[in-house]
Amino acid sequence: MYQKQVIELFTKEYKLILAKTPQDFQAVKEVRKKVFSHKYALPSKTLEKKGYLFNRGDKQSFIYLLQHTHSNTYVGTVRLFFINKTTPLQALPMQKDGGVQDIEHLTKNLPLIEVSRGALVQNLPSHNQYSALQLRTILTYGLMITTRINLLLYPCTMVFSIMEPSLHRILKRQRVDFEQIAEPVELCGTRTPYAIERKKLLQDTEESMGEVTRYYLKELCENPDAFWAFIDNNPYLERSEIHLDRICRLFKEHGEDVALSLLMGEDTPST
C-alpha cells in the first residue's frame, strides 16, 4: 500500500541519518524533548533526570534521525538497542524498564536488538499530497527502514519491540508482523511486548521497503568513512561484525537489483 509513498518520501523529501557525532546526538535529544514533553506532560528537566533524553542504553545502540530535507530540520528519531556478548547491559529495555518477564528463551541467541524510543514531532511540515494523519502514518511505518538497514549491516537474530496498540496496527497492516511474546504491561500507558525473527522481517517487508533499503545501503557504500568511524568509536562493536564491505561488493557485482538472499548472506554469489 505504501511502497510508492515510502520510496518518494524517504529518498527525496526525508532522509534517514545514523547519529554519529556529538551534534547528531544533541539533535536526538532535542527531538525526544519535543515529543516526550508533549506525550508525557513532563518538563525537559524531569525528562533528562529520568533518562528519557539520553541514557546508558543509548551507548549500545544505533540511533537514527529523520530529517526533513527542504527545511533541514530533524522531525523524528528511533533507537535500535543491541545486545551482544560484550555489552554491559544484557537485558532488553522491555525487561529492565518495562518489567516484561519469561522471555529469556527468546533472548539467548545473540546479537539481538530492540526497537525503542521512536519519536515523531507533532507539527510535521505540511504536505501537498497527504493529510497530516496520512503523512504521520507513512513516516511512522517508514522508520522501520532503519531496522532493515541494520539487520543487513549487523545481522541480529531477533528484533524486539514493546508497542502501543496503534503502532502495532500500522505495522501489521504493512506486513511487519510482530508476534506477541508476553502479556501487556504498564509503561507510560499499556504496551505489549513483541518479537520477530530477522529473516521473517526482511522477507516480509522486501516488497514495500526493499528499494529504499538498497538506496541507503548504496549511499553508505559510496561514503563509508563516517560510518566506520562510528563503529571504531563504539566499544561494543567490531568491524569484523559489520557486513558493509560484503554488501558493497554485491552491489558492484550484481547492480541495484542484488537479491535479498545475497544481501542477507544466505546465498553464495556466482563467480
Q: Tell me whether residue 263 is in a domain.
A: no
| Number of compact structural domains in the chain | 1
DSSP string, 248-266: HHHHHHH-TT--HHHHTT-
Pick from 108-117, 159-168, 210-219: least confident: 159-168
First to last CA, the chain: 37
pLDDT of residue 268: 54
Q: Tell me whether residue 259 is in a domain.
A: no
- pTM, whole model, 2 decimals? 0.94
pLDDT of residue 2: 60
Q: Tell me whether residue 266 is in a domain.
A: no
Q: Tell me the C-alpha distance between 255 and 185, whole Å.
A: 46
Q: Tell me the C-alpha distance between 179 and 161, whole Å.
A: 10
Q: Tell me the C-alpha distance between 71 and 55, whole Å.
A: 29
* Band (187; pLDDT cuts 50, 70, 90): confident
Q: Tell me whether residue 175 is in a domain.
A: yes
Q: Tell me whether residue 212 is in a domain.
A: yes
Q: Tell me: the pLDDT tens digits for 2-61?
A: 677 788 899 999 999 999 999 999 999 999 999 988 888 888 888 888 888 999 999 999
DSSP string, 191-242: EEEEEEEHHHHHHHTHHHHHHHHHHHHHHHHHS-HHHHHHHHH-TT--GGG-
- Residues 181 and 193 sit within 8 Å (Cβ to Cβ): yes
Instruction: Judge whether residue 271 has pLDDT over 50.
Output: no
DSSP string, 147-162: HHHHHHHS--SEEEEE
Pick from 2-11, 83-92, 104-113, 251-260: least confident: 2-11
Residue 181 belongs to a domain with what CATH number? 3.40.630.30
Mean pLDDT computed over 133-137: 90
Q: Tell me the C-alpha distance between 39 and 41, whole Å.
A: 6
Q: Which cell numbers in the block locate residue 194?
A: 513483541
Q: Tell me whether residue 265 is in a domain.
A: no
pLDDT of residue 6: 83
Q: Tell me: the pLDDT tens digits for 208-229?
A: 899 999 999 999 999 999 999 9
Q: Tell me whether residue 267 is in a domain.
A: no
- Domain containing residue 9: 3-253
Q: Tell me whether residue 271 is in a domain.
A: no
